[in-house]
Amino acid sequence: MTKRKTTVLIADDDLQLLDMVTLNLELEDYGVLRASDGRQALERIERHHPDLVLLDVMMPRMSGFAVCHQVRAYSTVPIIIITARGQEQDKIRGLDLGADDYLIKPFSVGELLARVRAVLRRAQLTEDEHALHTTMTIGDLSIDFGQQLVLMAGRKVVLTPTEYRILAYLAQLAGRIVPQKRLLEHVWGVMYEGEDHMLQVNINRLRHKLEPDPAHPRYLLTEPGVGYLLATQEAQ
């Protein structure tokens, strides 16, 4: 039986970039889907369910931001946004909308492939995470590690793979402060050293999904200048 290829959708209105990315992904044995505008990208995501989406911010018919926002309403497929150099606000906005990573134009083939591999790796459970078959309950928060199921007051909370990995790692070390550098390296890898904003944006998204009042968190706590911890009991 032939193993199914990992499929990547690349959406960009720059034909030359589409050709370059397609060629290099296919050389690495990825299956590739292409879209030249946002609406086409959304249609192909809905129809083909790719394993990863590379999504340019500025596209005709529908922006990458709009596509990301709509996809996150029903899917946790990993998304890498592609932004222009110097557009820091685009990068942060994309992460806020649920993107898992970013690429800044112009990028090298090496960086492209490294980011693709890193995001796909984060979407898979590690052996240690597979070994967890317990359930942890803290106040109204419940985490079933075996099923990767998170409940808040009995209701399912839909998390992206990156958000889940952050929460699962903090849960394994519940009650202990995890330094930002250690958490960043565990979830993203050593190539992301110093990119604390990636962690901050995802912690903020987690709080908005888990906390009754994200401005006054009860579960995901911050030790300023040090790191984060998952409280072992609901903070009042």
Digit-by-digit pLDDT tens for the chain (236 residues) are 557 789 999 999 999 999 999 999 999 999 999 999 999 999 999 999 999 999 999 999 999 999 999 999 888 899 999 998 767 788 888 888 989 999 999 999 999 999 999 889 877 754 445 445 588 888 899 988 878 889 999 999 998 888 998 999 999 888 999 999 999 988 888 888 878 888 899 999 999 999 999 999 999 999 988 999 999 875 55
155, two tokens: 């209701």
State which H helix or E strand residue 228 sits in.
strand 227-230
Contact call for residues 175 and 181 (beta carbons, < 8 A): no
Classify 56 in phi/psi space as left (phi over 0), alpha (psi -120 to 50) or beta: beta
pLDDT at residue number 23: 96
pLDDT at residue number 130: 47
pLDDT at residue number 235: 55
pLDDT at residue number 2: 58
Chain CA centroid to CA 99, Å = 5
Contact call for residues 94 and 76 (beta carbons, < 8 A): no
Rg (CA), the chain: 18
Using DSSP's 3-state secondary structure scheme, residue 92 falls into helix
Around Cβ 2, how many Cβ atoms within 10 Å?
A: 4
Contact call for residues 182 and 174 (beta carbons, < 8 A): no
Residue 75 dihedral angles phi and psi, to the nearest 5°: -145, 150
Cα end-to-end distance, the chain, whole Å: 55
CATH, range 7-122: 3.40.50.2300
Name the fold adopted by 127-230: Arc Repressor Mutant, subunit A (1.10.10)
Q: Is the pTM of this model over 0.75?
A: yes
Query: What whole-number distance in Å separates Cα of residue 152 and Cα of residue 219?
Result: 11
What are the sequence ranges of the domains in the chain?
7-122, 127-230
Query: What whole-number distance in Å separates Cα of residue 46 and Cα of residue 74?
Result: 10
Residue type, 124: Q
pLDDT at residue number 170: 93
Query: What whole-number distance in Å separates Cα of residue 166 and Cα of residue 169?
Result: 5
